[in-house]
Amino acid sequence: MLVAAAPWIGLGIALALIALAMIVPPLLGQSVHIRSFPPLHAEWMPRLGPGTLPAVLLAVAAAVWGVPLARRLRWGALLGVVYAVAVAWMVALATVDSWDGIGQVLEHRYEYLGTAREVTDFGATLRDYVAHIPLDSVDNWPVHIAGHPPGALLFFVVLVRLGLGGGLAAGFVVLLVGATASLAVLALLRRLGAEGAARRAAPFLAMGPAAIWFAVSADGMFAAVAAWGLCTLGFAATARRPAAMAAWSVLAGLLLGYCVMMSYGLPILGILALAVLALGRDWRPLPIAAAAALAVVLAFAAFGFLWWEAFPVLVERYWDGVASRRQFTYWVWGNLAALAISAGPLVGAAIATAGARAVGWRSEARPERVVIVLALAAAATILAADLSQMSKAEVERIWLPFVPWLLVGTALLTERWRRVGFAGQLAFALLVQHLLVTSW
């Protein structure tokens, strides 16, 4: 009975959180120090645009054929379709605001691209990086540069050097890279013996409200790097030959180590990494991957940026800024509402079902156990991020690296739930994009 009721309970909680997060601030006359439509950093602006018709047609087609096609397609074809559809969905949603919907966000003064164009000596930038983080420093960094380690800036410096430093070009690179996150999750599920679950989750990974932010935010790119890091770690834990295990472990460590150098919040990917190793039933990759990840951090240190010195300075700037005015009593649950909008309300049903199925763990088959562990590990990651108080608002983009792993839980839902729920996710995404102008 608990398992049957869990999706309804989870969905109800997600919808209630969304409604309350929108209603409570104006009802109490409370400023939560966000743009005009909490819990999102967004403004109310109903509109139609060039991407509206393609987005609607794509949503209708996916709602009709998505779930059955994911079950029938050959594996290689499924991956190709998932990627193509994910890219098309992101482009269609973003271009509701014309091509500016893709390129304009990265041109904002808070973003990385403007600073990346000004960097002529990245080594010198690393040596001076920490000095420009404090809010009262001379020539302090823009918000996103100050709020992230220099690995994120380096990505955009490389794009500039490659001639892809325009907003539209850089935006497309971010979009195309971010869309691969779903492929990494699917590949890992299959590697762990859960291909059927991967097929059931595939539509939700390809399309949903998260695409609104994946298409235009560097955090979508972070999500892809994180997903491939976890995927390769899973390949290491299931490799048959020691040489293959070592090679996959090094690659996983390099990718996850670079995640640490892109966002101060991504070290908590360690929770998911441990879950992947437990599912792979092999802990030998852990020291190898950890050493490779440490090598990435130390490489930046050798050129002048010490992560462990920068983080306390970043924390000080964080609390000197708007964070000190954002009430934790609201954002401790308002964050979860923003996540439910970004991931889509069905994420509540997915996580609640994973929790309910975990109670009868011993009776579950191996594929279902894989899904339960990954979904609940992602939920634990969200809980750690939320309680840290280092994420108050804007988590619709900040928590993008964790969203695909939460949505893995949709594989536990019945087919009826998945068919109707997938259509609901698509309709919800269309409503959010056409009613609100988001900042990322």
Q: How far apart are CA 350 and CA 355, in angstroms?
A: 9
pLDDT tens string 316-331: 999 988 888 999 999 9
Contact 296, 229 (CB under 8 A): no
Tell me the whole-structure pTM to 2 decimals: 0.97
Cβ within 8 Å of residue 38, ≥6 positions away: 21, 22, 25, 32, 334, 393
Alpha carbon of 298 to those of 107, 126, 249: distances in Å?
A: 31, 13, 18
**Residue-level pLDDT at 261:** 98
* Nearest residue to 110 via CA among 160, 154, 144: 144
As beta bridge partners, residue 43 has 437
**Residue-level pLDDT at 210:** 98
Contact 182, 205 (CB under 8 A): yes
Contact 146, 368 (CB under 8 A): no
**Residue-level pLDDT at 109:** 84
* pLDDT over threshold 80, residue 1: no
Q: Given the structure tokens 């619709």, which residue do they identify?
A: 396
Q: Given the structure tokens 């930046």, which residue do they identify?
A: 300
Token readout for 46 is 């109903």
pLDDT tens string 347-376: 999 999 999 999 987 788 999 999 999 999
Token readout for 328 is 């934790």
**Residue-level pLDDT at 177:** 98
pLDDT tens string 166-222: 999 999 999 999 999 999 999 999 999 999 999 999 999 999 999 999 999 999 999
Angle at 423 (CA atoms; ends 419, 424), nearest 5 degrees: 115
Angle at 111 (CA atoms; ends 106, 113), nearest 5 degrees: 65
* pLDDT over threshold 90, residue 249: yes
**Residue-level pLDDT at 127:** 96
Residue 236 carries which side chain, given as an amino acid letter? A
**Residue-level pLDDT at 322:** 83
Q: Could you tell me the pLDDT band of residue 105, with boundaries at 50, 70 and 90?
A: confident
Mean pLDDT of the chain: 96
Question: Considering the chain, what percentage of its residues have pLDDT values greater than 90?
Answer: 90
Token readout for 299 is 């490489």
Q: How far apart are CA 179 and CA 214, in angstroms?
A: 8
Q: What are phi and psi of 48, to 5 degrees?
A: -120, 160
Most confident of 132-136, 293-297, 356-360: 293-297
94-98, 159-163, 164-168, 358-362: the lowest-pLDDT one: 358-362
Q: Could you tell me the pLDDT band of residue 254, with boundaries at 50, 70 and 90?
A: very high
135-144, 254-263, 293-302: the lowest-pLDDT one: 135-144
SS (H, E, C) the chain: CHHHHHHHHHHHHHHHHHHHHHHHHHHHCCCCCCCCCCCCCEEECCCCCCCHHHHHHHHHHHHHHHHHHHHHCCHHHHHHHHHHHHHHHHHHHHHHHCCHHHHCHHHCCCCCHHHHHHCCCHHHHHHHCHHHCCCCCCCCCCHHHHCCCHHHHHHHHHHHHCCCCCHHHHHHHHHHHHCCHHHHHHHHHHHCCCHHHHHHHHHHHHCCCCHHHHCCCHHHHHHHHHHHHHHHHHHHHCCCCHHHHHHHHHHHHHHHHHHHCCCCCHHHHHHHHHHHHHHHCCCCHHHHHHHHHHHHHHHHHHCCCCHHHHHHHHHHHHHHCHHHHCCHHHHHHHHHHHHHHHHCCHHHHHHHHHHHHHHCHHHCCHHHHHHHHHHHHHHHHHHHHHHCCCCCCCHHHHCHHHHHHHHHHHHHCCHHHHHHHHHHHHHHHHHHHHHEEECC
**Residue-level pLDDT at 320:** 87
pLDDT tens string 369-427: 999 999 999 999 999 999 999 989 999 999 999 999 999 999 999 999 999 999 999 99
Q: For helices 366-387 and 346-359, what crossing angle results, to 10°? A: 120
Provide mean pLDDT across the span 105-117.
Answer: 91
Contact 289, 236 (CB under 8 A): yes
